């Protein structure tokens, strides 16, 4: 059952129209971004197509230094030697690489079925090998350098002398021949590592030829000499110790 007080309140409400904002005592405040330059604020009310894309940063331009200013800076650097300066770049120096000797010319034990007695030296100037005949059908084989074209020879001789680190006295014919090419040879060169005869020499009969070492081991295996038989220093030292004066030498 409705009381008289409730009826009076309903009547008052029906007498005046009701509005939505009448429910609030005061209107809520409008919130505005504190940064009015924010991109989203500046774009309010504008066509999105009018918004220009963000520009990329430009690279700074290098300031051109006048020639006179460059000259003055160069003079200041020259006047102050303590100031570090850039060194000029130089191309790397080319190194000369000596060719290597073919391993086939290293000393080896090989079979021998020839008719020469043990202790005999046989030199093959075609294959560039020296054989020292041994007992039991064996031979010690060494690689050698032999006479170049025009200086080949063959024959049978004996070892008439042996020298350690021999002096070199070029024959008169060789001196004249090399002088015609513009190269002056000494009349005598003392023995040593720079001597063309190397560490040892075995002289053959009354000829001018020798079995000797060399300071150019990469020439072993070729026709390179003026008739002498070249060996590696290590190999000619070994041969020198194994053969006496009077050993038979056959050059083929």
Active-site residues: which are they?
212, 228
CA-based nearest residue to 193, from 235, 165, 170:
165
> Is the CB of residue 222 less than 8 Å from the CB of residue 145?
yes
d(CA 180, CA 112): 44
CA-angle at 94, arms to 92 and 97, nearest 5°: 145
Residues in the chain: 252
CA-based nearest residue to 99, from 218, 223, 231:
218
Tokens of 243: 């053969």
Using the structure block, give the residue that is written with the tokens 């150019």: 216
CA-based nearest residue to 200, from 160, 238, 227:
238
- Neighbour tally for 1: CB within 10 Å: 3
Instruction: Write b or e for each residue in 82-102: b if 16 or more Cβ atoms lie within 10 A of its Cβ, otherwise e.
Output: eeeeeeeeeeeeeeeeeeebe
């Amino acid at each position: 059952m409705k009381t008289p007080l409730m009826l009076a309140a309903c009547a008052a409400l029906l007498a005046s129209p009701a509005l939505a904002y009448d429910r609030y005592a005061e209107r809520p405040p409008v919130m505005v971004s504190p940064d009015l330059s924010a991109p989203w604020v500046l774009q309010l009310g504008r066509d999105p197509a009018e918004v220009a894309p963000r520009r990329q940063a430009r690279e700074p331009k290098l300031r051109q230094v006048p020639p006179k200013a460059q000259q003055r800076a160069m003079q200041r650097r020259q006047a102050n030697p303590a100031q570090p300066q850039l060194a000029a770049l130089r191309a790397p120096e080319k190194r000369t690489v000596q060719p290597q000797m073919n391993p086939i010319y290293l000393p080896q034990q090989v079979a021998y079925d020839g008719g020469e007695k043990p202790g005999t030296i046989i030199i093959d100037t075609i294959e560039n090998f020296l054989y020292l005949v041994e007992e039991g059908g064996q031979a010690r084989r060494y690689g050698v350098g032999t006479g170049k074209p025009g200086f080949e020879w063959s024959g049978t001789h004996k070892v008439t002398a042996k020298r350690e680190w021999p002096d070199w006295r070029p024959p008169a014919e060789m001196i004249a021949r090399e002088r015609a090419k513009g190269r002056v040879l000494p009349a005598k060169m003392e023995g040593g590592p720079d001597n063309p005869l190397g560490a040892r020499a075995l002289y053959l009969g009354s000829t001018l030829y020798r079995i000797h070492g060399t300071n150019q081991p990469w020439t072993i295996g070729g026709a390179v000499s003026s008739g002498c038989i070249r060996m590696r220093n290590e190999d000619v030292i070994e041969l020198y110790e194994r053969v006496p004066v009077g050993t038979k030498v056959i050059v083929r």
